[in-house]
A and B are shown apart, each in its own frame.
Chain A
């Protein structure tokens, strides 16, 4: 099926694989977003080479595809880390201290939002509402939703040390 089934460690970039995705989905009505999602899911990002391939398969200009990739927050230009932590920074979560949580996570991980730790363990991203607004603060970690979060709970969920 199209789109995110789960997030995992991105596959290494493979132009033939990207082309196969584009060819397989090109028959859909409005195929560009489904194709970009599938590439972004598989490889963790949509790079310039992918843009060229997709433009070729769909007979669009590179600028058209580039414009779409840059418009949407979901499409990354760099591969993500082994864990993707999306912290909700919208109003309902703000009312429950999400800005404090966001600042603490930046400090604890030593990165800003939109960045990946140097050991490639964690990518930290903002998100504006996960639809879990009665159980704030909410965080989406590797595609799984977690409510009533705090710094220690988030860090425990992305810890790779086995107990």
Chain B
């Protein structure tokens, strides 16, 4: 019986030396003449343990981590599955993983990402097979009934978007996956593309069948070279096996897709800007209406969904919308892949039903900061999300509950800062980032961001602090109310939350040089 050994090919694992570990494992297998097979799986999302090497045993998969290439020989010497200083026991029993509710990430890290056979053996393609036997309107209804909302950040009901595209007549329609995951602190899209790419392909095929679209695009940011390569390989495999093409899984439905590479513009994560970019233009946003669902890519009706939304569709179809809907709270149904990042001891991917608190995430899962210093602030929802102090850590993760406290769930990134953080500097960066990434279409965002950074500079130098804070407040109102899209519209969120919750960081005194003038 061939024993399977797993070394992840996920970029995070590679960033910690997984390639050298895989080579060392391969060398040991060859030199010891073992009947072992090395599989390059995705990541389980226990990122502090990467590279996490796993070995199949009769009891389950035993893990070792974090493994360096130089540790491999001693692991084989001890005997795989036997006691070793890096042995973390049965991976499924690690509380970080065991306490999760994995629906979208059910296979990630378990299967060989490019084996369609493995994918099917772990529940894949069931959703699409079901969808192929359903009427388009019934598929859309199932997605609506599941309560799935856009996981990219805006939280718009996915089923409603699909319904609009379905009802809009056109000879050509498109499905576009937004994999321009630009928010700092997020990596769930990347993990799916590298660790379970067929989940996205299946989700897009279901979307295509549901709305009558025959072509799909995955717009992947160029900062993700590994994901881009893996997605291309997976699409090839899907085509060779009839999952994509003129007869999707033997049906009379046509659906094919390809990847497109972004070019380093954060704004292209905004759906209309992404469509412009796909068309080969500057990534400037389009005013809405018309909605992309009515006139999207090349002015054709287009479903534009975040990657996690699309990758959640197969499980919604296969297990039924009720199953998915039973997770969560309030109007936030299902699960959210939360990405615990920044200054954190045990960072990684945690998929849980909505309702979990930041305290549980940061303290129980994360184990506090990496530096060992006290947590002072957390930014949830990417660069446009609010900075929160620890006294807001008991707010449940829920679109509405977060909004009520002036924050947002966004794409589920949680970035932790210790007590050395300077919130005035972070507020300044929020403006600076907006200035760097602004598409330039609307004035509040283009000009306001630059003026905002300058004004925070003045505050940091202790110049007319009270007046300048008022000016920032005023500017933020203009940005919020006058910008065309979320970049300008939400930049006030990190800035104002920093001022509200951490006023002491803005209470600057003039330096001696400035005072002497």
**Are chains A and B native binding partners rather than an unrelated pairing?**
yes
Point out the residue from B225, B262, B266, B437 that lies within 8 Å of A143, measured CB to CB.
B225
* Cβ contact within 8 Å between A135 and B383: no
Give complex CA distance A130, B421 in Å. 21
- CB neighbors of B among A17-73 (8 A): 29-34, 36-37, 67-68, 71-73
Q: How far is the CB of A73 from chain B (nearest CB, A)?
A: 4
Contacting pair B228 A91 (CB below 8 A) = no
Once A68-B280, A131-B223 are accepted as A-B contacts, the answer to whether A95 and B415 lie under 8 Å apart by CB is yes
Least Cβ distance of B45 to chain A in Å?
Answer: 9
CB-CB < 8 A to B104: which residues of A? Answer: none
Interchain CB contact under 8 A, B16 and A92:
no
Q: In the complex the two chains form, is A135's CB within 8 Å of B280's CB?
A: no
Interface membership of chain B positions 296-316, coded 1 if the CB is closer than 8 angstroms to chain A and 0 otherwise: 001000000000000000000
| Cα A29 to Cα B415 with chains together (Å) | 38
**Which chain A residue has the least Cβ–Cβ distance from B430?**
A91
Across the interface, do B342 and A135 meet the contact criterion of CB distance under 8 Å? no
The answer to whether the Cβ of A155 comes within 8 Å of any Cβ in the partner chain is no
**Chain B minimum-CB-distance residue to A90:** B184
Q: Mark A148-160, 1 if CB is under 8 A from B, else 0.
A: 1000000000000
Please tell me if the beta carbons of B184 and A91 are within 8 angstroms of each other in the complex. Answer: yes
Determine the main DSSP class of A at the interface with B: loop
Assess whether A145 is in contact with B263, with CB atoms less than 8 Å apart: no
Which chain A residues lie closer than 8 Å to B402 at the CB level? none
A133-B186 in contact (CB<8A): yes
Q: Is the CB of A34 within 8 A of B184?
A: no
Which of B47, B183, B224, B437 has a CB less than 8 Å from the CB of A134? B47
The interface stretch among A1-9, A104-112, A115-123 is A1-9
- Residue of B259, B280, B415, B439 touching A133 (CB-CB under 8 A): B415
Cα A38 to Cα B421 in complex, Å, equals: 41
Residue contact B280 to A129, C-beta cutoff 8 Å:
no
**Nearest Cβ distance between residue A92 and chain B, in whole angstroms?**
4
The interface size of chain B toward A, counting residues with CB under 8 Å, comes to 66
Surface stretch bound by A, among B78-86, B243-251, B343-351: B343-351
Verify if B468 is at the interface (C-beta below 8 Å from A). no
Q: Is B123 an interface residue (CB 8 A)?
A: no
Whether A73 pairs with B12 at a CB distance below 8 angstroms is no
Contact A5 B15 (CB under 8 A): no
Q: How large is the interface on A (under 10, 10 to 19, 20 to 34, 35 or more residues)?
A: 35 or more
B261 touches A4 (CB 8 A): yes
Given contacts A71-B282, A71-B283, A131-B11, contact A33 B16 (CB under 8 A): no
In this complex, the member of A34, A72, A144 whose beta carbon has the largest number of chain B beta carbons within 10 angstroms is A72
User: Does the CB pair B48–A134 fall under 8 Å?
Assistant: yes
Whether B242 sits at the interface, judged by CB under 8 Å, is: no
Q: Are the CB atoms of A3 and B183 closer together than 8 Å? A: no
Complex contacts, B262 vs chain A, CB 8 Å: 74
Chain A proximity mask over B177-212: 1 for CB below 8 Å, otherwise 0: 000011111110110000000000000000000000
B187 touches A75 (CB 8 A): no
Q: How far is the CB of B386 from the nearest CB of chain A, in Å? A: 12
**For B12, what are the chain A residues with a Cβ–Cβ distance below 8 Å?**
131-132, 134-135, 145, 147
User: Given the complex of chains A and B, what is the CA–CA distance between A134 and B361 in angstroms?
Assistant: 14
Q: How far is the CA of A3 from the CA of B184 in the complex (A)?
A: 23
> Which parts of A79-105 form the interface with B (CB within 8 Å)?
90-96
A95 B182 Cβ-Cβ under 8 A: no
Chain A residues with CB below 8 A from B284, complex form: 71
Q: Are B283 and A91 in contact (CB under 8 A)?
A: no
Chain A CB within 8 A of B281 CB: yes
- Residues in A with CB closer than 8 Å to B279 are 30
Q: In the complex, how many angstroms separate the beta carbon of B56 from the nearest chain A beta carbon?
A: 26
Distance in Å: Cβ of B267 to nearest Cβ of chain A: 9
Contact of A96 among B266, B339, B343 (CB under 8 A): B343
At the interface, yes or no: B416 with Cβ under 8 Å from chain A?
yes
Chain B hits for A146, CB < 8 A:
15
Q: Whole-angstrom distance between the alpha carbons of A19 and B73 in the complex? A: 51
Report B250-274 CB contacts with A as 1/0, cut-off 8 Å.
0000000001111111100000000
The answer to whether A133 and B342 have CB atoms under 8 Å apart is: yes
Q: How far is the CB of B441 from chain A (nearest CB, A)?
A: 11
CB distance from A139 to the nearest CB of B (A): 9
In the complex, residue of chain A having the shortest beta-carbon distance to the beta carbon of B14? A145
Contact check, A131 vs B16: say whether CB atoms are below 8 A apart: no
Determine the distance from Cα of A33 to Cα of B266 in the docked complex, in whole angstroms: 16
Chain B residues near A (Cβ < 8 Å):
11-12, 14-16, 47-48, 50, 181-187, 189-190, 222-229, 232, 259-266, 277-284, 298, 339-344, 347-348, 370, 379, 383, 413, 415-418, 421, 426, 429, 433, 436-437, 439
Q: Which 7 A-B pairs have the closest CB atoms?
A: A134-B347, A32-B280, A90-B184, A133-B341, A72-B263, A73-B264, A147-B15
6 CB contacts below 8 A, A to B, read: A90-B184, A92-B342, A92-B415, A94-B426, A133-B185, A134-B344
